[in-house]
Amino acid sequence: EKHKEKVRAHRLSSTGKYLYKKRKETIERSFADAKELHGLRYCRLRGREKVQEQALMTAAAQNIKKIANHLTKAG
């Protein structure tokens, strides 16, 4: 309980609120894009290994897009 209170106090601080807002803009956006743009809303494959492969391929595609965007902005 002591640790829960410490985490809660940090989350409600100004720094915690700022970090939570950034999380919503970055991390949650990545999951939303994976669902909407890369087909992770439903698994087309069956079996743990195949579903894991689909998730890893989606993550790789997102990373490649992120690298390409970074390189185009860099010049």
Which of 1, 6, 2, 62 is closest to 34 using CA atoms? 62
Q: How long a stretch of residues is the chain? A: 75
Segment 60-68 shows an average pLDDT of 91
Look-up: residue for tokens 């990545």?
30
| Residue-level pLDDT at 60 | 92
Q: What is the pTM of this model?
A: 0.60
Residue 67 has pLDDT above 90, yes or no: yes
Q: What's the total number of domains in the chain?
A: 1
- Domain range spanning residue 37? 1-74
